[in-house]
Structure 1
Amino acid sequence: MIYIGVTGWGDHDRLYPAKTPRRDKLKEYAAHFPIVEIDASFYAIQSKRNTEKWVNETPESFQFIVKAYQGMTGHQRGESLFPGKKEMFAAFHDSLQALNAADKLSAVLFQFPPWFDCKKENVDYLRWCKQEISEIPVALEFRNQTWYEAPFYDKTLTFMEEEGWIHTVCDEPQAGSGSIPIVLKATDLDKTVIRFHGRNVHGWRNTGDGNWREVRYLYRYNQKELEEWAENLHFLEKQSKNLYVLFNNNSGGDAADNAKQMIDLLGINYEGLAPKQLDLF
């Protein structure tokens, strides 16, 4: 099964009727896509109230990919809100209870920063993370090219297979050591995550401006690029039972459109989506 969606649900205004309140956008989003990535969890460990609300607002078959909290992946700067990493992981794990109990949690996504390179202490930390997150399915995304360089390429993929990490296949600009190549290899027979970050090479390199995040993901995939990726998805489908495809190129509002295009290209007709609202008022 190929599940296609986007990262977050608050900024895709083309999907929603005019004047849709932010609090109602997830309900409407679930009428279009069967999966979403929760990126709010990267900035703050979410309350049970939030996760229970998300469970109740989505259809029974709806799925979530939850992005790991920034303190768990080495992005956080400044003082931690927790006395130690174990307490941080325990709080994050606890926040997943409602999603897990409802069978709506596909995976937790650990996306590591560009400075997280391939070396022993980082491999050891990955093992520790996997142990602390316990039975929850975990997907792994690197932002440092060393993991896929010739001396480590096979070892990296074998490590993921042996340690139980779901491989996150990325499409992103090839802009030096802070980007990774497309690696069409599943490490889990059941699940593979695919994330589309766009191909804005200039934006990927330019991290000095205050609005660098908006510039980085400003990209719209054209028909030819999507057709090539449709073939890649069929290739990955032979290796892994379920593919979770997430478009993250939304600085210009293109992610939802590209996701819809991919659904059409693959001829997918999802069942069990939420009913669409014809008019809110």
Structure 2
Amino acid sequence: MAGRIRIGIGGWVYEPWRGSFYPQGLRQKDELAYVGAHLTATEINATYYSSQKPATFAGWAKAVPDGFQFAVKASRYCTNRRLLAEAGESVAKFTGQGIAELGDRLGPILWQFMPTKRFDPDDFEAFLALLPASVAGVPLRHALEVRHESFADPAFITMAKQAGAAIVYADHEAYPAIEGEDVGFSYMRLMRGQADEPTGYAPDAIARWADRARVLAERGDVYGFFISGAKERNPAAAQMLMTHLK
């Protein structure tokens, strides 16, 4: 049975989207609901910078329809450190802050590492052992976004698979595009949007990403997010990709 493909953007509060993606005059408090009505996923960025309250997660969950999911970006205090093996307290604080309130709207946890972070097999293996399989009865899925070329190593790919963690496939000019093995879901971050292209990516490029998503869906759920690049174009890119997938 094929997995479900969810397509989205990073966050939902961005002034240039007002009047381009969001209708003119839409109240800011209604913007997440609008995202929920027109896309199928989004990344929560606020959790990268600071903890949120359980009631905040519950409110976000209520704002979107059944089937919509949030990828939650893990706290920088977990990943931006010299020794990842010492992140246990930060990981527990992050996972215990209330993300379980998202319930079935909870998608993968995105663990993003700095471009300067190199692959240290022992340290990274110790970090993966810190990632919980669930919190408050809600299963967790983990996606690893590594940005240093040293991670393009069979040992890392094997390590991620054994931990059941997806390797984020990054479409970026400077970060390595690493093909992870099958762990039951896939995660893509598409970061080459161009401002002079109405849909960020050219139509033929979006068609290729649609083909890739269909192939990945044969082995589980797929999450695809248009991030950074020409950020003002990301909602249009996401909607165009969704059109190709219908």
Q: TM-score range by the shorter chain?
A: 0.7 to 0.9
Deviation (angstroms), 1:131: 4.7
Asked whether the 8 Å contact 1:220–1:249 carries over to 2, the reply is no
User: Structure 1 residue 194 and structure 2 residue 173: aligned?
Assistant: no
SS in 1 for 2:37: coil
Structure 2: how far apart are the matches of 1:61 and 1:35?
Answer: 9
1:198 partner letter: R
SS in 2 for 1:106: strand
Task: Show structure 1 runs of 5+ residues with no match.
Answer: 77-83, 201-214, 268-281
Structure 1: how far apart are the matches of 2:81 and 2:42?
Answer: 22
How many residues matched?
230
Q: Provide the identity percentage.
A: 23
Q: Once superposed, which parts of structure 1, at least 4 consecutive aligned residues long, lie more than 6 Å away?
A: none
Asked whether the 8 Å contact 2:113–2:146 carries over to 1, the reply is yes
User: Structure 1 residue 226 and structure 2 residue 220: aligned?
Assistant: no
- Of the three residues 5, 11, 14, the one matched with 1:2 is 5
Backbone CA RMSD of aligned residues: 2.5
Describe the superposition over 1:218-257 as per-residue Cα deviations: whole angstroms up to 9, x where unpaired.
Answer: x92111221222222223223x211011110364411111
User: Structure 1 residue 139 and structure 2 residue 143: aligned?
Assistant: yes
SS in 2 for 1:254: helix
Asked whether the 8 Å contact 1:15–1:29 carries over to 2, the reply is no
User: Given the two structures, how large is their TM-score scaled by the length of structure 2?
Assistant: 0.84
Asked whether the 8 Å contact 2:8–2:226 carries over to 1, the reply is yes
SS in 2 for 1:253: helix
User: Given the two structures, how large is their TM-score scaled by the length of structure 1?
Assistant: 0.74
Asked whether the 8 Å contact 1:186–1:192 carries over to 2, the reply is no
User: Structure 1 residue 49 and structure 2 residue 55: aligned?
Assistant: yes
SS in 2 for 1:15: coil
The aligned residue for residue 234 of structure 2 is 255
The aligned residue for residue 81 of structure 1 is none
2:147 partner letter: R
Task: Show structure 2 runs of 5+ residues with no match.
Answer: none
Structure 2: how far apart are the matches of 1:132 and 1:61?
Answer: 21
Structure 2: how far apart are the matches of 1:70 and 1:196?
Answer: 21
Asked whether the 8 Å contact 2:113–2:147 carries over to 1, the reply is yes
